[in-house]
Amino acid sequence: MISKRVADQVGLRPTGKGLVFGVHGAEYVNNYLFQVAFLFASHDPGAETATVTIHVLNKDIEGSELNLGDANFDVLLGMDVLSTCSLSVEGGGGTFSLSF
């Protein structure tokens, strides 16, 4: 899923409407077709610059519009994306790792 704000920023156009079920019931929202990429940055303490690696998921994703009001995030990944990688969540500290 992707927020309307980000869809507008990157110039996505709706491909149709889809029915989404949420906490407050069901609603029809815009669907978009897009691709997903992940940026991984690593920085050695003695280095002046960081190393950035980009992993592009090489398939089109059909995502619905995310309507969460004032939420602090703009994208919600589903199993169509997460099933292509290994995700590890570490305890209650909110740390995680993602690898391809």
Domain ranges of the chain: 2-74
| CA-only gyration radius of the chain, Å | 16
Instruction: Provide the pLDDT for residue 23.
Output: 80
Residue 37 confidence (pLDDT):
92
pLDDT of residue 48: 85
- Per residue in 43-78, is it b (16+ CB within 10 Å) or e — as a string? eeeeeeeeeeeeeeeeeebebbbbeeeeeeeeeeee
pLDDT given at position 100: 84
As averages over each run of 10 residues, the pLDDT of the chain (100 residues) reads 93 96 90 92 84 91 88 89 88 82
Predicted pLDDT at 95: 84
Q: Compute φ and ψ for 91, nearest 5 degrees.
A: 45, -155
Task: Identify the pLDDT of residue 97.
Answer: 85
